A and B are shown apart, each in its own frame.
Chain A
Amino acid sequence: MTPAQRRLLELCSSPRTFSELKRLTKLSDSGLSKALKEMRELGYLQKTQEGYLTTPEGMEALGHRKIRAHGVIVVYSGISEEQARRVCEILRGSPKFWLSARSEDLGDYDVRVGLVLTFPELLLDEVRGSSKERGVE
């Protein structure tokens, strides 16, 4: 899979319209159409009412894990198989549906703060700049 194809699948982990994808990938109309067609032919993307969506096969191709239980397919990463199975159990018997869920991305702050705490130079210029602005040395 090329980096561009991978990016497309990652973007479509929640439904994306053609215009959204065009803006995010900066591909031309024809380039994006071609890439979407290829991904659909491989079974990695599907077109839903809400937009293009990466299929469980596509998510699996990205390296995520997949389980099938009780007629539900769950593609996951960052949770245990037991938790994924519980999701299947909860959703068993539901009519045709799709669901996209992810944790709120709060962890990125952990990384940024952690880096600054171990490497304060990353913000030193800003701190010195703000001190000068306030006339503090």
Chain B
Amino acid sequence: MELSITSSFKVGERASFVEASMSKEGSLISTLRALNLDLGNLRVGVSASTDPEGRLRRFILTVIQPQDQENVVASYILDLTSRKLTIAEGRARRLEVKEEDRAKVISQLPDLLSSMRQGPLMHFRSRVINLDTGAEEAT
């Protein structure tokens, strides 16, 4: 799997946009677009991935609220392929994210992709809801 950042820029003072494409053996698999908003006491990130035909596959809404020394994080992952909604909630060590840090993460993301096999939210409490039945699934 190859990941390349195709676009990354700031949208005003408090928002940034990133576009990345993922391909395998030279064929485009999906395109990801993410918009991050810094609302002062709250950060909100939305990310959408689309297949090569432009159909929405997954949508992620992440809300981050700094609290004392920690960040309270909630991610809502809407997966239209497996028709599931994953809600992951947890606390993470609060790290100061400077603009250059964000740029570093984005620029090194292609190399770090393979080290992300464990899943970045693995320590968070998560619930999976079947979109068709509304039932919570065992995780």
Q: Which residues of A contact B (CB under 8 A)?
A: 3, 6-7, 63, 65, 77-78, 103, 106-128, 130-131
Contact = CB atoms under 8 A, between A and B. Distances in A.
B64 to A, nearest CB: 6
B75 A119 contact: yes
Given A106-B30, A110-B32, A120-B106, 7 more contacts: A63-B133, A109-B22, A110-B58, A113-B20, A114-B47, A125-B95, A127-B101
Interface in B43-95: 45-49, 57-58, 60-62, 64, 71, 73, 75, 77, 79, 81-83, 92-93, 95
Chain B interface category by residue count: 35 or more
- Looking at chain B's contact residues, the main secondary structure is strand
Nearest to B36: A118
A117 B81 contact: no
Contact of A78 (B47, B81, B97, B119): B81
B130 interface: yes
Contact of A115 (B60, B83, B93): B60
Interface of B: 1, 3, 18, 20, 22, 24, 29-30, 32, 34, 36, 45-49, 57-58, 60-62, 64, 71, 73, 75, 77, 79, 81-83, 92-93, 95, 97, 101-102, 104-106, 108-109, 112-113, 115-116, 119-121, 130, 132-133, 135, 137-138
B125 to A, nearest CB: 15
B75 A115 contact: yes
18 contacts: A65-B132, A77-B83, A77-B132, A110-B32, A110-B57, A111-B79, A112-B116, A115-B121, A116-B109, A117-B34, A117-B36, A119-B45, A120-B97, A120-B106, A122-B92, A123-B108, A127-B105, A127-B108
